[in-house]
Amino acid sequence: MTIFAQLKRKQSQRMKYKRILLKLSGEALMGDRQYGIDPKRLAEYADEIKEIHDKGVEIAIVIGGGNIFRGVAGASNGMDRVQGDYMGMLATVINGMALQGALEDKGMLTRLQTALKIEAIAEPYIKRRAVRHLEKGRIVIFGAGTGNPYFTTDTAAVLRGVEVNADVILKGTRVDGVYTADPEKNPDAIKFDAISFDDVLKKGLNVMDTTAFTLSQENALPIVVFDMNKKGNLLKICEGENVGTVVNV
């Protein structure tokens, strides 16, 4: 075992989660803008990711594309839904490239893999290659969703998480967990520190889309919903602190 591998193992042994799948929304990259990518927000996320990377956590990432294009919105304006969804997939690749640049500016090694073949800018998604990159300490960004229309990036995140044997799905949002109602609309909404998959379904709570949530439940892959915009939250979760809401079996 190399010195790097020994150091990485020693660091990761202190962490609750050794390998994570981080799901970020495209809208989160907008910052205070109306659309596009805010370089300041991108740099902040890179700093947060570097903190856990330096602790030896293996990191895979899926980003949405809503800040650039949303397929459903295109369909509602008369565009073919399938065409719109493919445009949305390309938007996730753009976001993946932006995050890749921000991470590499901080000195981290990355690989961008896409479900659609775009050899000039990214590797095609191959499970074994993705796992090997993670084992070597590289951050793997998965772009283009599942490569199929009618599937969200939430579903892509859980699918990739299952495939690379992630310990947890970390869903970074602008809300600090799962509530009984939308806390931005209802000030009386109560936050759950932990909740089971079954209770989420019984209460009709919105954590992820149904396909993604069911896939996570069937594979007993826990989901943590947390506020990605609060500095230090990502590290606290990986260290085992109670941040956000944990959805588990």
Report the binding-site residues for ATP.
23-26, 66, 70, 173, 179, 182
Q: Which amino acid is at 3?
A: I
Q: Binding site residues for UMP, as ranges?
A: 65, 85, 146-153
Residue in this structure with the two tokens 């330096």, named with its chain if needed: 54
Instruction: Give the residue ranges of the annotated binding site.
Output: 23-26, 65-66, 70, 85, 146-153, 173, 179, 182
Residue written as tokens 């944990």? 246
What's the count of helices (H) and strands (E) in the chain, helices before strands?
Answer: 9, 11
DSSP for 189-216?
--EESEEEHHHHHHHT--SS-HHHHHHH
Calpha distance 110→112 (Å, rounded): 7
- The DSSP symbol for 30 reads G
What's the rounded Cα separation, in Å, for the pair 116 and 226? 29
How is residue 200 written in tokens? 């989420």
